[in-house]
A and B are shown apart, each in its own frame.
Chain A
Amino acid sequence: MKVFQSRHRGLLVLALVLALLPLVLPNAFYLDVAIRIALNAIVVIALNLLMGYTGQISLGHAGFYGLGAYASAALTTHFNWPPLAALAAGALATGLLAWALARPVLKLKGHTLAMATLGLGIIISIVINNETRWTGGPDGMPVPSFALAGITVEGETSWYVVAAVLLLLMTWLALNLIDSPVGRALQAIHGSEIAARVAGVDTTRFKVRVFVLSAVVASIAGSVSAHYIGFITPGMAGFFHSIELVTMVVVGGMASVFGSIIGAALLTILPQLLQAFEGWEVVVFGVILMGTMIFLPKGLVPSIAQRLRARRK
């Protein structure tokens, strides 16, 4: 079947690219960028499930990411928790918070989730900034390395393997989800919420579930990133980071899993290129956001796919 083949094909290509990439990259710096791309991509895929497929917008996802990062950092540093337990605790707390927020808000119409996530994201970043005793405040805090059953994950190569495996896993899960009754229900909610309801879809329940799922994934990615980078700052949970994530979704392609990976790649590399030009990073982000929305509102990958399909006819 058409969908069946294309899904496996995409995953295979991704696996190949991930496997061959370390052989092509000249040094550890590039590997570091690749790891960051992979970790960002995981969040972006999850956010895309919410934005592209279910049609909701979250302006505070960095908050969840930051929660995971700081949960891991604080629990391992101040309370000597094993890293995996800290990660799980962070994910659980984030999930509960997301659920508590989403349930009352998603019953309403319009962009109420956008406003609520905006509020929550900023509250989280303010709390992180202020509670210096636990979080190190504006200066940030170091994060112990990730150790599981005595084995410590260290060095770019090991981390690359971890990141690549996690990315493949997330991609596989997302693709499965889309091509399933739940996935179709989500797309139907975006396409015509009233039609979905009439078909028996409990739209509020699904919207809440996707939101919680995407928040939990963001939290896990935040935890993993925290251990990898080794040092975290409140900016990770900040409004601009939330906007960066939204930009990655939008540029790569709403409702496109592989688009999310491309979007993450492009917009992770971009700040690296622009490091020399202080201040321009913000401008370029802004211009890219506006340009994509005006000229390629569906995002890069879906627009290219559409062009290719038109030419094939």
Chain B
Amino acid sequence: MLTIEHLSKSFGGVHAVQDVSFAVRAGTIHSVIGPNGAGKTTLFNLVSGIYAPTSGRIILKGENVAGMAPDALARRGLSRTFQNLQVCMNMTAIDNVMVGAHLGLNQNLFASMLRLPAVRRRDAECRLEAARLMDFVGVGQYKDADASQMPYGALKRLEIARALAAEPKILLLDEPAAGLNHTETGQIEELIRKVAQSGVTVLLVEHDMKLVMNLSDQLLVLDYGKMLAVGTAAEVRANPDVIAAYLGAPA
């Protein structure tokens, strides 16, 4: 599904990501972990088109998409959520989700202004689908609410609903459990599993080790922008470099 080849990104003298290569198989959950400053979010931003790489290739379903803009990537089936929550607080919850489905809807200015029957019909369908997605992620009770009225944990899930509304092939989740308590983290774990089971490939950045170990088919460990280890949860857990840099020696 997604192959990263020798990806590097430097900001002036800061080498945020250095020569990272890995492959994500379709239908799997692949996690990226590492200490703060390891380059995880930069990697995400590279894959989702917010940064252009200094060098390297990003192959999405056989096409090199390195440097493409986020909306071009969205059209190719890539969707993401944000660590610092990019929910549109000026809109209702359901409208937020409906924005996610933007690409499937009529984008013509005049058709919208005149409220042509075709636009109306597709909009009604989209609204139903958005409501269904809100139920799927577990925020169904906020269907009539404004985004600004929702609690933090619900907003995180709303963002996932928005990302899913785009019917992505691959979903990038940037620290979905950040700021969540124990119960909420468990719920997010369940949700991510449901998403993967529905056929969406998941690429995950997380600090919560339990979540990562429970969910991931493959792990990538980054440290100072470089790859430290790649493998299954068990392999990575046993890797001495990873233990030294990140997990801590066994008690």
Contacts and interface: CB of A to CB of B under 8 A. Distances in A.
Direct A/B contact, Cβ within 8 angstroms: yes
B162 A195 contact: yes
B70 A194 contact: yes
Interface string B157-201: 001001101100000000000000000000000000000000000
B92 to A, nearest CB: 9
- Secondary structure of the B side of the interface? helix
Interface stretch (B17-25, B33-41, B97-105, B243-251): B97-105
Given A194-B50, A200-B71, A213-B109, A184 B90 contact: no
Contacts of A196: 88, 99, 102
Given A2-B144, A181-B107, A213-B109, A197 B70 contact: yes
A212 B50 CA distance: 27
Contact of B112 (A176, A191, A195, A255): A176
A246 B187 CA distance: 46
Contacts of B224: none
Interface stretch (A25-33, A201-209, A218-226, A237-245): A201-209
B79 interface: yes
B112 A177 contact: yes
B86 interface: yes
Contacts of A202: 71
Interface in A182-197: 182-185, 187-188, 190-192, 194-197
Given A181-B105, A197-B70, A200-B71, A188 B88 contact: yes
A198 interface: yes
A173 B79 CA distance: 32
Contact of B107 (A182, A190, A191): A182
A180 interface: yes
Interface residues of B, number: 43
A177 B88 contact: no
A199 interface: yes
A183 B86 contact: no
Contacts of B88: 187-188, 190-192, 195-196
B119 interface: yes
16 contacts: A176-B112, A177-B109, A177-B112, A179-B123, A180-B123, A181-B126, A184-B102, A188-B88, A190-B88, A190-B90, A192-B86, A196-B99, A198-B86, A199-B74, A199-B163, A199-B166
Given A192-B87, A200-B102, 15 more contacts: A176-B115, A180-B119, A181-B126, A182-B106, A183-B112, A192-B86, A195-B82, A195-B88, A195-B162, A196-B102, A197-B70, A197-B74, A198-B74, A202-B71, A213-B109
